[in-house]
Chains A and B, each alone.
Chain A
Amino acid sequence: EVQLVESGGGLVQPGGSLRLSCEASGFTFSTYWMSWVRQAPGKGLEWVANIKPDGSSKYHADSVKGRFIISRDNAKNSLYLEMNSLRAEDTAVYYCARNPPFHHADYWGQGTLVIVSS
Chain B
Amino acid sequence: QSALTQPPSASGSPGQSVTISCTGTSSDVGGYNYVSWYQQYPGKAPKLMIYEVNKRPSGVPDRFSGSKSGNTASLTVSGLQAEDEADYYCSSYAASVPFVFGTGTKVTVL
Contacts and interface: CB of A to CB of B under 8 A. Distances in A.
B45 A95 contact: yes
Contacts of A108: 45-47
A47 B96 CA distance: 12
Interface residues of B, number: 25
9 contacts: A37-B46, A44-B101, A45-B38, A102-B34, A102-B93, A103-B34, A104-B51, A105-B99, A108-B47
B102 interface: yes
B98 A45 contact: no
Nearest to A49: B98
Contacts of B45: 95, 108-111
Interface residues of A, number: 21
B29 to A, nearest CB: 12
B34 A44 contact: no
Nearest to B103: A44
Contacts, number: 64
Nearest to B33: A102
| Most chain B CB neighbours (cut-off 10 Å) among A45, A50, A99 | A45
Given A44-B3, A111-B45, A103 B101 contact: no
Interface in B49-77: 51-52, 57
Interface centre among B89, B97, B99 (most CB of A within 10 A): B99
A106 B57 contact: yes
A95 B100 CA distance: 15
Contact of A44 (B36, B48, B57, B104): B104
Given A45-B101, A104-B52, 15 more contacts: A35-B98, A35-B99, A44-B89, A44-B102, A50-B99, A59-B97, A59-B98, A95-B45, A95-B46, A102-B93, A103-B32, A103-B98, A106-B48, A108-B47, A109-B45
